[in-house]
Amino acid sequence: MLIATWNVNSIRSRLDQVQAWLTQQQPDVLCLQETKVADAEFPQAPFQALGYHCIFYGQKSYNGVAILSRDPVTVVSYGFGDPQWDEQKRLVHVQTQGLHIVNVYVPNGSDLNTDKYHYKLAWLTRLHYYLKPWVGEPLVVGGDFNIAPDDRDYYDPECAGGIMASEPERQALQKLLDLPLVDAFRQFTPDPGHYSWWDYRQGSFRRNRGWRIDHLYVSPAAQPQIRRCWIDPAPRRLEKPSDHTPVILEIEIPNS
């Protein structure tokens, strides 16, 4: 079973690219972030034509998450189930083939000295409490976390301490990992220089001046079944791409 995560930075702008990637890579599940479309306008038909069920939780112009799945899914939660936290559409949780899949779009935080940064930290705390009851189950948590876990995960050491690499953000992420969850990519690739996001400016992709901020985490119950995890940079080479690229996990599902 292949599970992928991809911040597409507008599903309508990248629709053709996502369709082509699905056709080429044939993932069983694709978690999308930053879909930027209200639910009534989510482009279901093109994905259904490719054999995917569509679960989406979005809003006009901002945020938004979706899950495309070849097999039927049971929706566990749209958001946290708390109006205080669900004004921004950032989480959807489904179950399929005995596996829980939680797709998240963590707030960026903007700048260390802003209310958005404090909201990000509070949102991560809320995510911790949301995930805690599920970590005993076979679970995959994927998405754009907007955090580089350690110094291997960005191109320039001078980025340390700034947004997406501040100590409070990393501590909040580590608290999630301590639930426990396992960083699937780092199970197979310990070395630096592997990124999932590159700024549009200053030729960042061409120069590989990137960050690894898109992650796939697995619970201990699912860890023995993971076979590989990798980043696919090909979509970032396309004309007018998302600034993110997919991360893919291969996991063996018993009796699948």
- Catalytic annotation, residues: 105, 144
Alpha-carbon distance of 68 to 32, in angstroms, equals: 8
Helix boundaries (H) for the chain: 15-25, 44-49, 83-86, 115-131, 167-177, 184-188
Written as six digits, the tokens of 241 are: 């791409």
**What residues have CB less than 8 Å from 211, skipping those under 6 apart?**
148, 153, 154, 155, 159, 164, 195, 196, 197, 198
Reduced 3-state DSSP string for 165-199 = CCHHHHHHHHHHHCCCCEEHHHHHCCCCCCCCEEC
Rounded to an integer, what distance in angstroms lies between the CA atom of residue 101 and that of residue 103?
6
